[in-house]
Structure 1
């Protein structure tokens, strides 16, 4: 199973913010959109990712004043990407190793989607269940 298959079902829309957007505004957007992270774009170029965890750390370190600062001060700038042709297993492995929950998907350095650990786990469970059903049918037919 490939990341591209998840994007075909899930869709390719990605919520983004700009580096100059305030932490407070981004926190409001995270809440209203019901998502856990935004990709930070400068024009069309991915420059970072900001998650709920980043915002909590910013407020814990800098207090309420952090909410007025630009998200670029607290985003994760060293972004790990997936490509549409990556397998779910390889994406899960990278996310687990880095302890991240969101993985932007790029093709030729262009953002084409985003997957979460929840998306990947859901598809992995479906894949394992289908394999188990196939094995049960094979055993029953024997």
Structure 2
């Protein structure tokens, strides 16, 4: 399955924040949107990804004081992207190697969506279930 197919099913909504938003405000946005990461954009340019992991690491380092800092001070800045034509297998490999859970999707240089590890797992489960059902049908048909 391709990234484009996953986005077709899940939609292309991207939850983004600016780099000057406080960590506390960004945490509230994570809760409001019920997501594990927000894309940090400065205008049309992706500058980072702010995730639950970033919050935990910042609190471990600085304590509660980190909540007043801007997201840009704690976000992950080494953003790894994917493209609509990439396969789920490629995504799984990239996410595993880099130990990341969210990949912004770029299409023609523009942010077109976000793929999470949950999306990838859901896709893999659907494919395995389809294969199993197909095999059952084939065997039952004799």
Could you state the TM-score of these two structures normalised by the residue count of structure 2? 0.96
Please list the CA deviations of residues 87-121 of structure 1 after superposition, one character each: whole Å capped at 9, or x if unmatched.
Answer: 11111111111111111111122100001111111
Cα distance in 1, alignment partners of residues 109 and 32 from structure 2: 29
1:41 aligns with 2:47: no
Structure 1 unaligned residues grouped into runs of 5+: none
Aligned to 1:107: 107
Cα RMSD, aligned residues only = 1.0
- Structure 1 position 32, deviation (Å): 1.7
Aligned to 1:4: 4
- Specify the SS of the correspondent of 1:119: helix
1:29 aligns with 2:29: yes
Cα distance in 2, alignment partners of residues 42 and 92 from structure 1: 28
Aligned to 1:139: 139
- Specify the SS of the correspondent of 2:9: helix
Cα distance in 2, alignment partners of residues 4 and 60 from structure 1: 37
- Specify the SS of the correspondent of 1:83: coil
- Specify the SS of the correspondent of 1:96: helix
- Specify the SS of the correspondent of 2:25: helix
- Structure 1 position 138, deviation (Å): 1.7
Could you state the TM-score of these two structures normalised by the residue count of structure 1? 0.96
* 1:1-142 correspondence to structure 2 within 5 Å: 1-142=1-142
Number of aligned positions between the proteins:
142
Structure 2 unaligned residues grouped into runs of 5+: none
Cα distance in 2, alignment partners of residues 38 and 129 from structure 1: 31
Please list the CA deviations of residues 8-30 of structure 1 after superposition, one character each: whole Å capped at 9, or x if unmatched.
Answer: 11110110011111111101111
Cα distance in 2, alignment partners of residues 116 and 35 from structure 1: 10
- Specify the SS of the correspondent of 1:111: strand
